[in-house]
């Protein structure tokens, strides 16, 4: 029982800190994402209001899109047409060769096209490494994919993982973890990538003890999210990350904590909000950690007595109420999100325009 409690206490920091058709595609070798444009920008607005790529366990890809007012959409992969459809499409593409990451071009008969891939980067040593882009903003732009990534800890990356990330163009790593976490599980950084410490919780005293009840655990998560907004060390850390994200030379950026859900979650939530992504989409991206971490979390809870697991589960979860408490803190401390960017993170209107120019298309 003592061992379980020690594991749980350590884990508390980890959890807190952290067109119906099927076409066979021609064999071709996919170009590495780092050498492909993230999204084809044109003078025309992108007509897609929704578009996703989901890799399936059998090696196929499920593509879904909506482009109101468009009569035809052509899907290309590896330089070949692999599917066609209309204003709405639901396609499964099979027979593509193995690739580090498979990209698809969604090309409408008019307007700008999209260059998209599955959001998740499959690695042996990380379960929550995913693209931060691929989302539509409220005014019709799209956040580029293949530029910015979010992840859980990188200490267990294998040699094959590191080689894949190098081929995918990861150039910059921001480690959001505390000193104790970095010491216990140092990052494995791809060769040639620069490593930066951006310790979000360095000034927090919120995570010093294991909660004894489920309500205490939930409150701990809520308080932690608020600190990520108004804590001095959090503001300094996120300011550094966003400065790197805005640097064109530094693209191929990944920011991460231990579980890739709390510190990393707010980093993505604030970035996407700044870029104009709707709150509902931001929340969905935040909650996706529950899906990507489901197996790991279940195994962790299964190793504990039922009573302890009940207390511990809120620390492993991401919940809308946690994220909402961060946005509530923005409103309470700064009045508006724009004021938070300017006063809390030092991002003025000129810098915000530059950030949007770097990361948005359409």
Give the Cα separation of 119 and 33 in Å (integer).
13
Work out the pLDDT band at 39, boundaries 50, 70, 90. Answer: very low
Residue carrying the six token digits 């409150």: 219
Res 274 pLDDT > 50: yes
User: Does the pLDDT value for residue 175 go beyond 50?
Assistant: yes
8 Å CB contact between 319 and 221: yes
Residues in the chain: 362
- The class (CATH top level) of 19-118 is mainly beta
Percent of the chain with pLDDT over 70: 87
- pLDDT given for residue 240 in this prediction: 96
Residues 1-19: what's their mean pLDDT?
39
- How do the residues of the chain divide into helix, strand and coil, expressed in percent and rounded to 5? 40, 20, 40
Q: Which residues pair with 63 in a beta bridge?
A: 53, 91
Q: What is the pLDDT of residues 124-167, one digit of tens each?
A: 999 999 999 999 999 999 999 999 999 999 999 999 999 999 99
pLDDT value at residue 24? 35
User: Which comes out higher in pLDDT, residue 267 or 42?
Assistant: 267
pLDDT (0 to 100) of residue 208 = 67
pLDDT of residue 210: 86
Question: What integer pLDDT is reported at residue 209 of this predicted model?
Answer: 79
Average pLDDT of the residues in 77-85? 97
Q: What is the mean pLDDT of residues 217-234?
A: 96
Q: Considering the entire predicted model, what is its pTM?
A: 0.88
Whether the per-residue pLDDT at 30 is higher than 60: the answer is no
For the chain, the average pLDDT equals 89
Three-point CA angle 280, 283, 285, nearest 5°:
110
pLDDT for 270 equals 98
Confidence of residue 31 (pLDDT cuts 50, 70, 90): very low
* In the chain, domain spans: 2-18+119-361, 19-118
d(CA 313, CA 49): 36
For the ranges 74-78, 244-248, 294-298, the lowest mean pLDDT is seen at 244-248
The pLDDT score that the predictor gives to residue 331 is 98
Q: What is the mean pLDDT of residues 255-261?
A: 98
DSSP string, 112-123: --EEEE-SB---
DSSP alpha helices (H): ranges in 159-305? 159-167, 179-184, 214-230, 232-245, 263-275, 279-292, 294-302
CATH number of this structure's domain 2-18+119-361, picked from the four choices 3.30.450.40, 3.40.50.720, 3.90.190.10, 3.40.50.20: 3.90.190.10
Report CA torsion sign: 215, 219, 222, 228.
negative
From 15-24, 82-91, 283-292, the region with the lowest mean pLDDT: 15-24
From the list 118, 63, 127, the residue with the least C-alpha distance to 259 is 127
What is the DSSP code (8-state) at residue 62?
E
- What's the pLDDT score for residue 250? 67
Q: What is the phi-psi region of residue 260: left when phi exceeds 0, alpha when psi lies from -120 to 50, beta otherwise?
A: left
For 138, the token pair is 């409220």
């Amino acid at each position: 029982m003592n061992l379980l409690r020690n594991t749980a206490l350590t884990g508390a920091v980890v959890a807190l800190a952290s067109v119906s058709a099927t076409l066979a595609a021609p064999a071709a070798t996919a170009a590495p994402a780092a050498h492909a444009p993230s999204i084809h920008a044109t003078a025309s607005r992108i007509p897609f209001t929704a578009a996703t790529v989901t890799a399936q366990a059998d090696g196929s890809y499920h593509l879904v899109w909506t482009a109101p007012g468009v009569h035809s959409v052509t899907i290309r992969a590896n330089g070949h047409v692999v599917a066609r459809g209309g204003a709405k499409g639901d396609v499964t593409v099979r027979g593509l060769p193995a690739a580090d990451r498979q990209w698809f071009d969604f090309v409408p008969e008019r307007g700008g096209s999209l260059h998209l891939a599955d959001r998740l980067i499959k690695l042996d040593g990380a379960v929550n490494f995913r693209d931060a882009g691929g989302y539509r903003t409220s005014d019709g732009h799209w956040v580029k994919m293949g530029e910015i990534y979010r992840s859980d800890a990188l200490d267990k990356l294998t040699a094959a993982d590191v080689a894949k990330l190098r081929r995918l163009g990861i150039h910059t790593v921001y480690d959001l973890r505390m000193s104790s976490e970095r010491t216990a599980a140092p990052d494995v950084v791809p060769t040639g990538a620069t490593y930066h410490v951006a310790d979000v919780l360095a000034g927090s005293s919120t995570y010093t003890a294991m909660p004894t009840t489920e309500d205490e655990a939930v409150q701990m998560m809520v308080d932690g999210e608020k600190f990520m907004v108004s804590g001095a060390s959090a503001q300094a850390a996120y300011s550094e990350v966003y400065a790197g994200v805005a640097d064109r030379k530094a693209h191929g950026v990944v920011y991460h904590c231990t579980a890739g859900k709390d510190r990393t979650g707010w980093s993505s939530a604030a970035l996407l909000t700044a870029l104009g992504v709707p709150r509902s989409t931001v929340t969905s991206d935040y909650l996706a950690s529950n899906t990507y971490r489901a197996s790991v979390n279940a195994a962790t809870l299964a190793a504990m007595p039922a009573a302890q697991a009940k207390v511990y589960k809120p620390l492993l979860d991401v919940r809308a109420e946690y994220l909402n408490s961060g946005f509530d803190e923005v409103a309470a401390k700064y009045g508006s999100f724009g004021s938070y960017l300017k006063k809390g993170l030092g991002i003025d209107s000129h810098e915000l325009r530059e950030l949007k120019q770097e990361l948005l298309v359409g």
